[in-house]
Amino acid sequence: MRRITLGLTQTQVGQALHVAEGPAYSQSAICRFEKLDITPKSAQKIKPVLERWMKEAEEKYKNGVNSVAELIGSDVNTKRKRRTSFTPQAINMLNKNFERNPRPTGAEMTALARKLKYDREVVRVWFCNKRQTLKGNAMKMNAVPAE
């Protein structure tokens, strides 16, 4: 593994790609790619980006850059935002809104976020996660057991 020869973790590569290429390239994406647990379409998308980034990182390493922060081009100590804890009242209100409309507009999400005193992004992610949970449950219900 070229990544390991440079002494980089999946997290560090994910952080660097997140900064350079956007949030689609995370530690989880790197992990799935390395395990080959990824769809062909996703592999086609991530492979050239990883190749280009690894080539640049190897060039930096050859030119004497040894610090991880310089090698990956971002602050390795950047902390993620803490996980949001929803109050029971907030969950109740979110669920009621979801029952009425599982795909609220941006304006509706902003209004709901203000009312609940949460970031709009937190509310948006809650709706996405709720839809995914229901979709996953529906797929499990429709699955036919193998005999």
Task: Say which residue the tokens 């971002």 belong to.
Answer: 74
Mean pLDDT (whole number) for 24-46: 81
Q: What is the pLDDT of residue 71?
A: 62
Shortest CA distance to 123 belongs to which of 96, 94, 81, 89? 94
Mean pLDDT (whole number) for 30-40: 83
Q: What is the pLDDT of residues 113-147, one digit of tens each?
A: 999 999 999 999 999 999 999 887 777 777 656 55
Shortest CA distance to 18 belongs to which of 49, 60, 55? 49
31 Cβ neighbours under 8 A, 6+ residues apart? 10
Q: What is the pLDDT of residues 91-116, one digit of tens each?
A: 999 999 999 999 999 999 999 999 99
Task: Say which residue the tokens 């979801």 belong to.
Answer: 98
Q: What is the pTM of this model?
A: 0.48
Mean pLDDT (whole number) for 11-18: 79
Q: pLDDT grade, residue 53 (50/70/90)?
A: confident
